[in-house]
């Protein structure tokens, strides 16, 4: 259980200057340069991270390659990997509150959500893949009698992991855990504005017994350290979550270097569709408000386009407004806050740019639309709703990644499907209806990696997450994720 006193003690912990984690130990960036870490809670610096660059990536990749070639992890019995990863999960759980508070100081997510979604979820993910890995079998091919065809599953080698700042531990673990479980060595490039928890994660992995060089972390800027990882000739795959433009760059880097595999989990503009026969409009409104505004809308699957059937539009909007204005925005380390800070001053400015554009294009502001709590020095934004949004407006097309909801109304199911799919993205969606047939038709009709029915969000590690269309390709989570980190090798044996 978490309590306010412990949180208040942990929030004062000295963090200081954090170094890179390479070959099982902390090292400075070769340039000696560092980046300030500014908390979005109050706009003040509270730590620094090493500003890693190409030379540091080279060093980390060399360390990972050496560890991989040595085989003490890559060729270890799955049962041994399982034991170490299980210990790793236990350590993450043991340090969960420390990790959660550190992460919140870095990125501003409300602590109640961060605690569950970050360390606890990461620990669960690590445990899931630890338990799975000694249940992955090779195959015997149905060949002719004089031949034995064996299909082996082998780790890829060195995997680069690049993640965003909204949930670095949770999203990091979705890649780190299956990659390690399968026997790979990894180099993680955390997001520059939220690196601290992933550095700590690497230390906990070492404490759990992961051999040196298997888990390396190089902090630094995406355009420098991230690019160097993407272009590296000795990296076998990149597992990425982040924005579309950076995803495209990673594909180019692969083409320009060694054709490494690239798995992309990108953004979304997910439709949340409320039919007039939704089982409980009030509950749908509360869940929909949470589905866009928690973590200040910085959730890849956020339901950022709300489609409401005309006959219940006014009633639903009343309930939505009530649920939204009830959300308390404030210090993310206060257990009483429902919504914390926007991750950085830059992101807040970007969000306000979307607000200005929506108003200019003729959408009607229902609530919010402004920075609040400016006296704290932090980056806080009021949950914002625009209605009368049309398909052509920026708010209907582009991902804000902030607490801004665009609302449209529809008359028929056909119109709802057309509007829902009128986007280049295809990450998530939801449908609210009491009609089983409508629900199933919508699940088939919506082009997205997940369709929620009578809920928004909510999933566990057993189901895959990933996008259709420009929301990317490759799936995180579930047993399917292991496939990304293994390769198939055929042995064709002549039996004479
Ligand atoms: P971003 O693309 O700017 O950065 C993501 C990571 O890429 C960071 O670690 C960054 O340092 C690195 N990076 C930046 N430039 C790079 C380059 N040239 N080469 C290599 N790496 C580089 O994204 P962000 O602003 O951190 O995160 C927000 C985005 O992430 C949103 O679009 C959001 O939808 C997406 N996201 C997707 C999912 C999902 O599962 N599909 C989950 C969370 C966030």
Counting Cα atoms < 13 Å in the Cβ hemisphere of 383 gives 25
Cβ of 85 below 6 Å from ligand 1: no
Q: Are 144 and 174 in contact (CB under 8 A)?
A: no
312 CA → ligand 1 middle, Å: 37
Cβ of 449 below 6 Å from ligand 1: no
Could you count the other beta carbons within 10 Å of the beta carbon of residue 186?
29
What's the pLDDT at 477? 98
Could you count the other beta carbons within 10 Å of the beta carbon of residue 64?
27
Could you count the other beta carbons within 10 Å of the beta carbon of residue 346?
11
Cβ of 404 below 6 Å from ligand 1: no
- The 3 state secondary structure assigned to 17-60 is EECEEECCEEECCCCCCEEEEECCCCCCEEEEEECCCHHHHHHH
How large is the angle between the packed helices 196-208 and 168-181, nearest 10 degrees? 30
Cβ of 174 below 6 Å from ligand 1: no
469 vs 473: CA distance, rounded Å: 8
Cβ of 344 below 6 Å from ligand 1: no
Which residue's entry shows tokens 């409508």?
A: 438
User: Ligand 1 pocket: which of 49, 246, 348, 478 to mutate (most atoms <8 Å of CB)?
Assistant: 246
190 CA → ligand 1 middle, Å: 10
270 vs 303: CA distance, rounded Å: 5
Residue segments in the chain with a per-residue pLDDT below the cut of 70: none
What's the pLDDT at 420? 98
Encoding tokens for residue 64?
A: 């990972």
118 is annotated as an active-site residue = no
Cβ of 166 below 6 Å from ligand 1: yes
Atom of ligand 1 nearest to the CA of 229: 20
Atom of ligand 1 nearest to the CA of 427: 41
267 CA → ligand 1 middle, Å: 9
Cβ of 165 below 6 Å from ligand 1: yes
87 vs 188: CA distance, rounded Å: 20
Cβ of 178 below 6 Å from ligand 1: no
Where b means 16+ CB within 10 Å and e means fewer, 381-413 reads bbbbbbbbbeeebbbbebbbbbbbbbbbbbeeb
The stretches of 209-306 forming alpha helices (DSSP H) are: 227-231, 244-256, 281-293
362 vs 169: CA distance, rounded Å: 39
Summarize pLDDT for 184-211 with one digit per residue, the tens.
999 999 999 999 999 999 999 999 999 9
Q: Are 248 and 471 in contact (CB under 8 A)?
A: no
Which residue's entry shows tokens 């560092």?
A: 34
Summarize pLDDT for 60-92 with one digit per residue, the tens.
999 999 999 999 999 999 999 999 999 999 999
Which residue's entry shows tokens 């520059």?
A: 192
Atom of ligand 1 nearest to the CA of 191: 9
Closest CA to 133 of 490, 479, 484: 479
Encoding tokens for residue 232?
A: 């590296």
Encoding tokens for residue 282?
A: 């009030």
Cβ of 162 below 6 Å from ligand 1: yes
- CA end-to-end span of the chain: 65
What's the pLDDT at 447? 98
187 vs 198: CA distance, rounded Å: 11
Atom of ligand 1 nearest to the CA of 227: 19
Nearest CA to ligand 1 atom 3: 243
Closest CA to 252 of 231, 235, 267, 232: 231
What's the pLDDT at 459? 87
Q: Are 106 and 11 in contact (CB under 8 A)?
A: no
What's the pLDDT at 1? 76
Catalytic residue among 118, 265, 319, 387: 265
Segment (H or E) for 366: strand 364-367
238 vs 160: CA distance, rounded Å: 5
What's the pLDDT at 458? 81
Nearest CA to ligand 1 atom 15: 222
What's the pLDDT at 402? 97
340 CA → ligand 1 middle, Å: 20
């Amino acid at each position: 259980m978490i309590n306010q006193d412990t949180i208040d003690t942990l929030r004062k912990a000295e963090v200081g200057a954090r170094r890179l984690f390479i070959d099982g130990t902390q090292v400075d960036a070769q340039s000696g340069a560092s980046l300030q870490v500014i908390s979005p809670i109050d706009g003040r610096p509270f730590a620094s991270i090493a500003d890693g660059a190409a030379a540091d990536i080279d060093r980390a990749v060399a360390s990972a390659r050496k560890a991989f070639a040595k085989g003490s992890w890559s060729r270890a019995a799955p049962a041994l990997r399982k034991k170490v990863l299980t210990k790793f999960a236990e350590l993450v759980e043991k340090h969960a509150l420390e990790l959660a508070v550190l992460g919140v100081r870095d990125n501003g997510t409300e602590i109640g959500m961060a605690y569950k979604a970050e360390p606890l979820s990461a620990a669960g993910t690590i445990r899931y893949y630890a338990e799975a890995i000694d249940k992955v079998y090779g195959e015997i091919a149905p060949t002719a009698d004089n031949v034995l065809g064996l299909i082996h599953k082998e780790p890829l080698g060195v995997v680069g992991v690049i993640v965003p700042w909204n949930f670095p531990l949770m999203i990091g673990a979705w890649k780190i855990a299956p990659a390690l479980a399968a026997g790979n060595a990894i180099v993680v490039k955390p997001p520059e504005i939220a690196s601290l928890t992933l550095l700590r994660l690497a230390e906990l992995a070492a404490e759990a017994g992961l051999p040196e060089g298997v888990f390396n972390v190089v902090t630094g800027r995406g355009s420098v350290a991230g690019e160097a990882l993407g272009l590296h000739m000795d990296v076998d795959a990149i597992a990425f979550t982040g924005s579309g433009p950076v995803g495209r760059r990673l594909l180019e880097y692969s083409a320009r270097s060694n054709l490494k595999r690239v798995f992309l989990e990108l953004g979304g503009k997910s439709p949340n569709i409320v039919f007039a026969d939704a089982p409980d409009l009030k509950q749908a409104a509360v869940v929909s408000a949470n589905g866009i505004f928690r973590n200040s809308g910085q959730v890849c699957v956020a339901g950022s386009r709300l489609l409401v059937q005309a006959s219940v539009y006014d009633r639903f909007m009343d309930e939505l407004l009530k649920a939204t204005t009830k959300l308390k925005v404030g210090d993310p380390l206060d257990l009483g806050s429902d919504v914390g800070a926007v991750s950085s001053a830059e992101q807040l400015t970007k969000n306000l740019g979307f607000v200005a554009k929506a108003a200019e294009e003729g959408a009607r502001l229902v609530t919010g639309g402004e920075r609040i709590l400016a006296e704290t020095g932090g980056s806080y934004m009021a949950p914002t709703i625009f209605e009368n949004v049309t398909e052509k407006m920026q708010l209907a097309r582009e991902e804000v990644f902030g607490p801004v909801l665009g609302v449209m109304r529809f008359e028929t199911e056909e119109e709802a499907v057309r509007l829902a799919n009128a986007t280049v993205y295809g990450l998530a969606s939801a449908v609210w209806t009491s009609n089983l047939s409508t629900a199933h038709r919508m699940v088939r009709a919506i082009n997205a990696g997940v369709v929620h029915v009578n809920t928004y969000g909510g999933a566990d590690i057993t189901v895959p997450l990933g996008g259709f269309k420009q929301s990317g390709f490759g799936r995180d989570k579930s047993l399917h994720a292991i496939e990304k980190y293994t390769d198939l090798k055929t042995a064709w044996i002549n039996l004479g």
